[in-house]
Structure formats: structure tokens, C-alpha cells
């Protein structure tokens, strides 16, 4: 047997993938996990307040590290690298990493989550446009900055609240006519005197050559206008991270993986867990539950 032969290949080191590895190892499966950040994008969450057992919340980075170490202690094999492709032939899944190393397994779990969308504007990749307030917010500390956040759901609220402790002014620009976020977030935003909420407002362009120094906004029923900002943080939606799959599998119109009641996709032996699959709730808790269930059903499939 090849040293790179496993029972299950797991794609993703977020909550879903790590939990799948933890449960898989405890079920007697030999797992190999691909992903270069322990905990995945959970590090972008400043404080997870709605996961049971953590009174007062737990920092996302701490949660991810603890989960990673727990799965490691059960014997899960973490490569700390991403798969460039996952294909299938002769009843085996074949994963190829950035070093062109091959890994084989009769089953696989895709738990690669979602990646943030950019605004469809000219110069969309200009510097100064960010997706993680925890990572990039400190760049503006002590600079009397004005920062803008685009979005109206929980991610946008978390950006605005984190940045309110750093910037002089935070503009929360919402395309809809109401805030579509948890009431707890709304209450916190209302208490922050330096967060200005602008409803029914779209961002139609960026100003600046190499680095953003302003945005063009269009309030509903009004003319476009330029507003100077030092940085922009986006929370305008997500797309499933499935670019590495070289397997024909059923997806939704948005690209999420369709699964049955046992979390298996339309391709036998290929399972999905967490935010990458067609689900009605994108949460750390539900991703963990998916990971545990996927491992259980992989075990049944292999038997």
C-alpha cells in the first residue's frame, strides 16, 4: 500500500473539515486533511458568541487552533497545504497538491467553505479593499482614519464593530432598506457613536490609482457622489470554493454542492460538509455538525 493511500481525503481545515477528521479518526478511519490555515476562515471572526459552551464567546482564531490540535491528537494527518485538484478513476479519488504529490482514497469529503465576493466595479482589485477586519483593520490604527464597510448582514456588522475601535469614523453602507443581521448586532451598532449607517446605498466605483482613497456611492433616489475613505471592507456575499474539483457533480445555480440526506453528493463516495454544500444555515456550529455526520456516513459507505 502506498504511503499516500488513506481511507478518506478531506478538503478544508475549517470547522467542517477539522470535525470530519476528528470524528473520522475516532471511527477508525485513516484521514488526510488539506488546507493551509488551521481553522480555515474562522480566524476572521473576532469573537464567536453563539457556540455552546463558551460563555462570553471565543476568538475565532483560538477556536480554530484548539479544534485543529484536538484532531491532530486523534491522529489526523494535516498536510498544511491545499489540493490543486481532486479527480477520480478506477474507484479511487486522487488528490494532487501544490508539490504535485498524489494522495489516494476510496472516499473524500469536500469542506472547502466559501470565499468572499468582490464588487463588480472597475479597478476592483485596487489596494485598500479588504475582507477581514481582524487581519487588516489594525493597519489603520492611530491614523484618524475613515473606513467604509459594505454589506447588511452579520459579517458586515462584525466588520463595523471591530473597526469602530480603530477608526475615527466607520461608514456602514447597506444596499437594502434595513439591516439584515442579528438583533444583538444591531443593538451594538446603535450604541457606537462613530458608526454611521447608510441604508439604500450602493457603491458604484472606487477612487485612487494604486491605493483606494475614496468611493463613489449612490443613495437611492439621489445622484452619485464621491466620499473620501482610507480603506474599504467588503461583506457583499460569498461563492462556494469548488475550483479544485475535477469531478462532475450536481450543484445549485449558485455553485453549491447538492447532497442527499447522508451528505453524499451525486458522485458516489464524494461527500460535502459545511458552507460549501447547499444548506440553509452557514454557521460554525452547523459546519461542525456536518463534519461529524459526513465522517459517520463515510464510515458506513466504506463498510
C-alpha–C-alpha distance, residues 271 and 156, integer Å: 31
Fold equal for 8-116+238-302 and 129-234 = yes
CA 18 to chain centre: 14
CA angle 68, 74, 75 (to 5 degrees): 90
- pLDDT exceeds 90 at position 209: no
What pLDDT does residue 36 have? 93
Work out the percent of the chain whose per-residue pLDDT is above 90. 93
Q: What is the per-residue pLDDT for 46?
A: 87
Arithmetic mean of pLDDT over the chain: 95
Decide if 263 contacts 277 (C-beta within 8 A): yes
Residue 1 binned pLDDT confidence (cut-offs 50, 70, 90): very low
Domain ranges of the chain: 8-116+238-302, 129-234
CATH number of the 129-234 domain:
3.50.50.60
pLDDT at residue 284 is higher than 90: yes
Query: How would residue 44 be classed by pLDDT, with cut points 50, 70 and 90?
Result: confident
pLDDT at 229 over 50: yes
Cα–Cα dist 75/36, whole Å: 18
For residue range 133-192, what is the model confidence (pLDDT) as tens digits?
998 999 999 999 999 999 999 999 999 999 999 999 999 999 989 999 999 999 999 999
Helix H or strand E segment including 78:
strand 77-78
Burial class (CB in 10 A: 0-12, 13-18, 19+), 178: exposed
Residue 242: partners with Cβ closer than 8 Å, 6 or more residues away: 110, 112, 251, 255, 257, 276
**Has domain 8-116+238-302 been given CATH number 3.50.50.60?**
yes
Residue 21: per-residue pLDDT:
98
Q: How many CB atoms lie within 10 A of CB 157?
A: 24
**Rg of the chain, C-alpha, whole Å:** 21
pLDDT in tens, 97-135: 988 999 999 999 999 999 999 999 988 999 999 999 998
The DSSP bridge pattern shows strands 92-97 and 83-89 to be antiparallel
Model pTM score: 0.86
Q: Which residues pair with 206 in a beta bridge?
A: 215
Q: Which residues contact 135 (CB under 8 A, 6 or more apart)?
A: 43, 44
| Residue with the three cell numbers 473576532 | 46
State the Cα–Cα distance between residues 257 and 263, nearest whole angstrom: 10
* Percent of the residues in the chain that have a pLDDT greater than 70, as a whole number: 99
Amino acid at each position: 500500500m502506498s504511503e499516500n493511500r488513506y481511507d478518506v481525503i478531506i478538503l478544508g481545515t475549517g470547522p467542517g473539515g477539522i470535525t470530519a477528521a476528528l470524528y473520522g479518526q475516532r471511527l477508525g478511519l485513516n484521514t488526510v486533511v488539506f488546507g493551509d490555515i488551521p481553522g480555515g476562515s474562522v480566524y476572521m471572526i473576532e469573537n464567536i458568541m453563539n457556540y455552546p459552551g463558551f460563555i462570553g464567546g471565543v476568538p475565532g482564531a483560538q477556536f480554530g487552533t484548539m479544534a485543529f490540535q484536538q484532531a491532530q491528537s486523534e491522529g489526523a494527518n494535516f498536510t498544511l497545504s491545499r489540493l490543486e485538484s481532486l479527480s477520480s478513476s478506477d474507484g479511487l479519488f486522487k488528490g494532487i497538491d501544490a508539490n504535485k504529490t498524489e494522495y489516494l482514497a476510496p472516499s473524500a469529503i469536500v469542506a472547502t467553505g466559501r470565499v468572499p465576493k468582490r464588487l463588480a466595479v472597475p479597478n476592483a482589485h485596487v489596494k485598500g479593499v479588504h475582507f477581514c477586519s481582524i487581519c487588516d483593520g489594525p493597519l489603520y490604527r492611530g491614523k484618524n482614519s475613515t473606513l467604509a464597510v459594505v454589506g447588511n448582514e452579520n459579517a458586515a456588522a462584525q466588520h463595523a464593530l471591530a473597526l469602530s475601535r480603530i477608526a475615527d469614523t466607520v461608514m456602514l453602507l447597506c444596499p437594502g432598506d434595513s439591516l439584515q443581521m442579528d438583533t444583538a448586532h444591531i443593538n451594538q451598532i446603535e450604541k457606537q457613536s462613530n458608526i454611521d449607517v447608510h441604508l439604500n446605498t450602493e457603491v458604484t466605483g472606487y477612487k485612487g490609482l494604486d491605493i483606494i482613497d475614496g468611493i463613489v456611492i449612490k443613495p437611492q433616489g439621489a445622484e452619485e457622489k464621491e466620499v473620501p475613505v482610507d480603506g474599504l471592507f467588503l461583506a457583499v456575499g460569498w461563492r462556494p470554493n469548488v475550483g479544485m474539483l475535477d469531478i462532475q457533480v450536481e450543484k445549485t445555480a449558485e455553485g453549491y454542492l447538492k447532497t442527499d440526506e447522508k451528505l453524499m453528493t451525486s458522485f458516489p463516495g464524494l461527500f460535502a460538509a459545511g458552507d460549501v454544500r447547499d444548506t440553509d444555515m452557514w454557521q460554525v456550529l452547523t459546519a461542525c455538525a456536518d463534519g461529524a455526520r459526513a465522517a459517520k456516513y463515510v464510515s458506513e459507505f466504506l463498510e
